[in-house]
Amino acid sequence: MSEIAQPSPIAVPLGAVRPLLLNWRRHVPLLLVAPLLIYMLVLYALPVLAMLLRSLNDPTWTLSHYTALFEDVVFAKTFWITINTSVTVTLGCLVLGYPVAMGLVRAKAMAPLILIVILLPFWTSVLVRSYAWMVLLGRHGLVNEGLIAIGMIDRPLRILNTPLATQIAMIHILLPYMILPIANALRQIDPSLIRAASGLGATPFMTFRQIILPLSMSGVAAGTLLTFVLALGFYITPAMVGGPRDITLSMLIAQEVDQLNWPYAATLSAVLLATALAILAAARHLPGVGNAFRMSMR
């Protein structure tokens, strides 16, 4: 024992090297993400920043582009339509998605099939799906022809190019973002809790309201947030199936870019980005949201 306790000549250099080795190990995760980080910084973050700067320094440093928005009727209306559409779509996704999430969690043998059906839209481009909705919702589309065939209506309804068409198509596209976080939260609920509630005298509805719903709120919050923020920036779908006068912020930005009105487009982009960030920041304080986010990303 005494021999080992004595300082050996090798002990000194090893002792000096060890912290360096440890440091090197600690930085391995950073080194692994570095290539992507540099790629994103150079090709994404910097251009976005340069773009946003044009709302402040074009032609000279000024806040006038922002102050002008307060009197801008077109902006006000567009902003309202954007928020309104996003809220409606999010609520639609929640109402339609929650039961599906429950079905997904309850199903045993059918679960993989249900999951594939939910994820199917992910594997098709938004453009293709929006085209599909144009075909379905058009004057001579499947929906109108079907309703006429069963005698519910005499003349085709005007669905395409209305806010309703935008909402229908967006709900379809965004549903998975609502379903998956909710399903994840539901899956975390210990089945014996539901049995316990039932054994203690709660009917299935009481069990849902007092046990299942509160315990799945983290998933509901995460799904709602994800859906809402994604809906805020939707462009292709409202542009294709929406009404010509129902312009959303992203459509307005595209219009201004077309007319090379860069400072105005940059200002609108900044507002859109700020809205999304503000909502995310506010929601961060909701209980369980951070947790649910992590889970849904598995």
Partner 1 sequence: MGEAGMNDAGRGASVTLADLEKRYDRVNAVDGVSLDILSGEFLTLLGPSGSGKTSTLMMIAGFETPTAGDIAIDGTSVVAMPPYRRNIGMVFQNYALFPHLTVDENIGFPLKQRGVPKAERAKLVAEALELVHLPGYGERYPRQLSGGQQQRVAVARAVVFKPRLLLMDEPLGALDKQLRENLQLEMRRLHSDLGITFIYVTHDQEEALTMSDRIAVMNDGKVAQVGSPEDLYDRPSDRFVAGFIGESNFLPAIVRGMEDDVVIAECDGALIRAMCPGRPASGDKVTLTTRPERLRFADSAWNATTPQNRLSVTVTEAVFAGERCRYMLQAGDGTSMVLKEPSSAAIRRRAIGERAEISWSVADTILV
Residue ranges that bind partner 1, judged by CB under 8 A: 190, 192-193, 195-203, 206, 210-211, 214-215
**How many CB atoms are closer than 10 A to CB 220?**
24
Closest to partner 1 by CB, 29 vs 201, is 201
Nearer to partner 1, 143 or 295 (CB): 295
Rank residues 198 and 261 by Cβ distance to partner 1 and give the closer one: 198
Q: Which is nearer to partner 1, 27 or 106 (CB)?
A: 106
| Min separation Cβ 37 and partner 1, Å | 37
Quickly list DSSP for the chain. -HHHHSPPTTHHHHHHHHHHHHHHHHTHHHHHHHHHHHHHIIIIIHHHHHHHHHHHHSSSS-SHHHHHHTT-HHHHHHHHHHHHHHHHHHHHHHHHHHHHHHHHHH-STTHHHHHHHHHGGGGS-HHHHHHHHHHHHSTTSHHHHHHHHTTS-SS----TTSHHHHHHHHHHHHHHHHHHHHHHHHHTS-HHHHHHHHHTT--HHHHIIIIIHHHTHHHHHHHHHHHHHHHHT--HHHHHHS-TT---HHHHHHHHHHTT-HHHHHHHHHHHHHHHHHHHHHHTTSTTHHHHHHHHT-
What minimum distance in Å lies between the beta carbon of 67 and partner 1? 47
The minimum distance between CB 297 and partner 1, in angstroms, equals: 23
Nearer residue to partner 1 within complex by CB, 3 or 190: 190
CB of 105 to partner 1, least distance (A): 18
In the bound state with partner 1, the residue whose beta carbon lies nearer, of 149 and 200, is 200
Give 7 or 201: the residue with its C-beta nearer to partner 1: 201
Least distance (Å) between residue 197 CB and partner 1: 7
Q: How far is the CB of 205 from partner 1 (least distance, A)?
A: 10
* Min separation Cβ 187 and partner 1, Å: 15
Report how far apart, in Å, the C-alpha atoms of 152 and of each of 23, 138, 147, 148, 292 are: 72, 17, 5, 6, 43
